Amino acid sequence: MRKPFLAGNWKMYKTGTEAVEFIKAFVPLLGSLSDREAALGVPFTAIAQAAEAAQGTGILIGSQNIYFEKEGAFTGEISAGMVKAAGASFVILGHSERRQFFGDTDLWVSKKLAAAVAMDLIPVVCVGETLAQREAGDAFKVISGQLKNSLAGLTPDAAVKLIIAYEPVWAIGTGKTASAAEAQEVHEHIRKELSSLLGDKVAEATRILYGGSVKPDNVASLLSQKDIDGALVGGAALKPDSFAQIVKFGG
Ligand code: PEP
């Protein structure tokens, strides 16, 4: 049984103080987290305060990126060990905004993934096609390539905590959501690819999240699909009330 994983991606929003205010307002709105996991991917500068505020609540705090080297002359970068020490337990890797604006490639994602695994961070690896790629009929091919190259070097044993997020680029921050059936089709494809890359056991256990304009009113139908095991949520995770509704989907 795959436990639903509902993660917010705050992008470049919220200071540490604002993160603490959010968590204080959010926790009383949540029901029991025994059958699901709630997580917040926060800016680097908010990790420590957010992790402290979330202590004992079951909410996981994570970062939205890392650099793959352990330490060194890499001005402006942050390592897996640094985010872990600050209180992160997961990391979002290869988000389409990082691929689009900061040049993250599948090769870099694979190196960051290895660094995350070495630090025992839960890796949330993002894949997804652009509108042009979808319209050209290339969505499956693009996603297969991203998975093969981003997961290169990962062994089945190291993949125990792996989470994949399918985020069609055309649905991120646009208000356009893939229909539940469209998303399920891709999630099923991703699980098949995971099976050929890492074996059936890993494919069955790996949670595959959907991301792209997830809101309180569409989360339940998306998550009712067989291969959709959670959500990665941008805009709707910035307000305690809407993210709490998303986490409590179906309840
Ligand atoms: C995201 O940032 O990963 C995302 C899916 O954003 P939004 O929910 O705003 O589309």
Q: How far apart are CA 127 and CA 6, in angstroms?
A: 17
Q: Quick check: 78 and 53 in contact, CB under 8 A?
A: no
Instruction: List pLDDT tens digits, range 49-82.
Output: 999 999 999 999 999 999 999 999 999 999 999 9
The pTM assigned to this predicted structure is 0.97
pLDDT at 175: 87
pLDDT at 31: 82
Q: How far apart are CA 6 and CA 40, in angstroms?
A: 9
Q: Which atom of ligand 1 is nearest to the CA of 92?
A: 3
pLDDT at 48: 98
Nearest residue (CA) to ligand 1, atom 1 = 234
Average pLDDT over residues 5-12: 98
pLDDT at 162: 98
Return the higher-pLDDT residue of 1 and 171: 171
Instruction: List pLDDT tens digits, range 74-110.
Output: 999 999 999 999 999 999 999 999 999 999 999 999 9
What stretch of H or E contains 199? none
* Strand partners of residue 127: 166
Q: Ligand 1 mean position to 214 CA, how many Å?
A: 7
Q: Which residue has the tokens 């091919």?
A: 141
Q: Ligand 1 mean position to 108 CA, how many Å?
A: 21
Domains identified in the chain and CATH numbers = 5-247 (3.20.20.70)
* Strand partners of residue 71: none
181: Cα separation from own chain's centroid = 21
3-class SS of residue 62: strand
Q: Quick check: 29 and 216 in contact, CB under 8 A?
A: no
Q: What is the mean pLDDT of the chain?
A: 97
Q: How far apart are CA 134 and CA 163, in angstroms?
A: 23
Q: Which atom of ligand 1 is nearest to the CA of 172?
A: 10
Is any ligand 1 atom within 6 A of the Cβ of residue 145? no
